[in-house]
Amino acid sequence: MKLKVNGLRVAVALACGLTAQLANAGATINFGEDKYISAGFGFIGGYSSFEDAANSGSDRSNDFSLDSARIYLSGSFNKYIKGMFNTERDIATPSGGNASGIQVIDANVQFQVTPEIAIWAGRFLSPSDRANMAGPYYSQGGGYWSGIASRYGFNGGVIGRDEGVAIVTSFMEDHLAVSLGAFEGDKTFRLSGVGALPDSAAVKDKLMYAGRVQYNFWDAEPGYYGTGNYFGAKDILSIGIAGRTKKDGAVSSAGLAGDYKSYSVDFLLEKKDVGPGTFSAEAAYYYYDTDNVFLGEQGHAYSAGLGYLFSEPVGWGKFMPIIRYQKFDADGLTDNSSVNRNVGATSKSFEIGTNYVIAPYNAVITATYGKQDRPNSDNTAIVDSNFLKVALQMQF
């Protein structure tokens, strides 16, 4: 058995079409040709201060938090069969309260039918927008996005995951990627406190269907799970389109049932050697439709971000100033009550700051200052506040 460092694991994972998340597992133990087990872990923690968010109602909050803590396990039986098992701290219960312990976010097997076609089965991210496929560890600004525009990770199953099966394909030397799948789809509104109720007599037990098409004009992007930034490693010009639908996919505790569908369009540009560094820009548009069952989760959303990574190191790492904006125009404030069902609501966030990139994806410090407008805890009004956030991301 031979222990190999992270750099070789990256090459192996990308060559096999696995996820960027798996690529940073800390070590690989080989058992023979195309047989290995890889393990690693990561966490995101930080400090935040929000205006008027203290219990007094008129003072700034001051909080340290552990936002994420993950264990990564992956393995290969041979060059045709691989799998992953990843966990996350249990960040929230369906009612929105804190919980303890861990939960399984990925548990699946990948069958590499041909070099271009793979079948994924188990629990994993269903095809969706780039922000959700990249996740918090591989986003432009480090740490968690607020779940304002891309709502799948915040309010889409087990941190965006679902049980199902998908065909994952890549053509034209990894410039064209197409993925299609069928999933359970019963936890789409998990953090709203309610979800699809398949045991209800009024609900048909239908599957959720999801798909994504992505084309890369410049450098290729291999793999299914993606990243939101390459930190100057590639020149990227990419457009992706994703959608999902489920018959009776929105069911409220009040007995309302409706069809669920959504779609998104995302764009990423990253260019090396633009002046003394790498320039990046991203944007996305979303539409969510709950058939008027959850007006607070129905509407249009937008996101955009800019970044510039300086090539010259300063101390341990490189500075990367960032700016990003998100907006969700919901059709209503409340999800399942008769109060304010037709009152429009807008959630938005603007922030500016910098990454300090010590090691791409594996060691990043992010500091941002911004303003956020979001519904309050009981969905009766929009509250605006300025905030300061500092996040530390590490993967081993």
Concatenate the DSSP letters of all residues of 103-127 into one string.
EEEEEEEEEE-SSSEEEEEEEEEPS
Q: Is residue 28 part of a domain?
A: no
* Structure confidence at residue 377 as a pLDDT band (50, 70, 90): low
In a domain, 233, yes or no: yes
Q: Are 125 and 160 in contact (CB under 8 A)?
A: yes
Task: Give the Cα separation of 241 and 98 in Å (integer).
Answer: 34
CATH number where 300 lies: 2.40.160.10
Q: Which domain holds residue 313?
A: 43-69+92-395
For residue 20, tell me if it sits in a domain: no
What is the spatial distance between Cα 293 and Cα 337, in angstroms, rounded to a whole number? 10
pLDDT, tens only, 212-224: 999 999 999 999 9
Average pLDDT rounded to a whole number, residues 278-305: 93
Q: Is residue 30 part of a domain?
A: no
Average pLDDT rounded to a whole number, residues 89-97: 55
The listed range with the strongest mean pLDDT (101-105, 198-202, 335-339, 372-376) is 101-105
The structure tokens listed for 126 are: 């269903």
pLDDT tops 90 at residue 145: no
Residue 193: strand, helix, or coil: coil
Number of H helices, E strands in the chain: 3, 18
Residue given tokens 């959504």 in the structure block:
262
Q: Which of 146, 251, 153, 144 is nearest to 205 (CA)?
A: 251
Q: What is the DSSP letter of 179?
A: E
Residue 282 lies in a domain: yes
CA distance linking residue 160 with residue 124, whole number of Å: 8
Selected residue with higher pLDDT from 301 and 147: 301
Tokens of 376: 């309050």
How distant, in Å, are the alpha carbons of 79, 81, 240 from that of 114? 10, 11, 23
Cα 173 to Cα 218: distance, rounded to the nearest angstrom = 11
Average pLDDT over residues 366-382: 78
Rounded to an integer, what distance in angstroms lies between the CA atom of residue 115 and that of residue 84? 19
Q: Name, of 119-123, 206-210, 226-230, 380-384, the range with top average pLDDT.
A: 119-123
User: Per-residue pLDDT tens for 180-205?
Assistant: 999 998 877 665 544 445 455 556 78
Q: Would the pLDDT of 143 be above 60?
A: no
The answer to the question of residue 151 being in a domain is: yes
The position carrying tokens 């938005």 is 348
Of 7-16, 247-256, 298-307, 367-376, minimum mean pLDDT range: 7-16
Q: What is the rounded distance in angstroms from the CA atom of residue 85 to the CA atom of residue 71?
A: 8
How far apart (Å, rounded) are the C-alpha atoms in residues 44 and 50?
19
Closest by alpha carbon to 309, among 219, 390, 231, 391?
231
- Residue 258's contacts (CB-CB under 8 Å, 6 or more residues apart) are 248, 249, 250, 251, 290, 291, 292, 293
Q: What is the tally of structural domains in the chain?
A: 1
The whole-chain average pLDDT of the chain stands at 83
CA distance 275 to 142: 23
Residue 211 is predicted with a pLDDT of: 98
Q: What is the mean pLDDT of residues 28-38?
A: 92
DSSP string for 38-93 = EEEEEEEEEEEEETT-STTSSS---EEEEEEEEEEEEEESSSSEEEEEEEEE----
Q: What is the mean pLDDT of residues 254-272?
A: 91
- Given pLDDT bands bounded at 50, 70 and 90, which one contains residue 256? confident
State yes or no: pLDDT of 22 exceeds 50: no
- The verdict on residue 99 lying in a domain is yes
pLDDT of the residue at 294: 83
At 378 the pLDDT is 60
Confidence tier at 24 by pLDDT (50, 70, 90): low
pLDDT of 214: 98
Question: What pTM did the predictor assign?
Answer: 0.87
Residue 95 is predicted with a pLDDT of 40
Can you tell me the distance from the alpha carbon of 215 to that of 240, in angstroms, rounded to the nearest whole number?
6
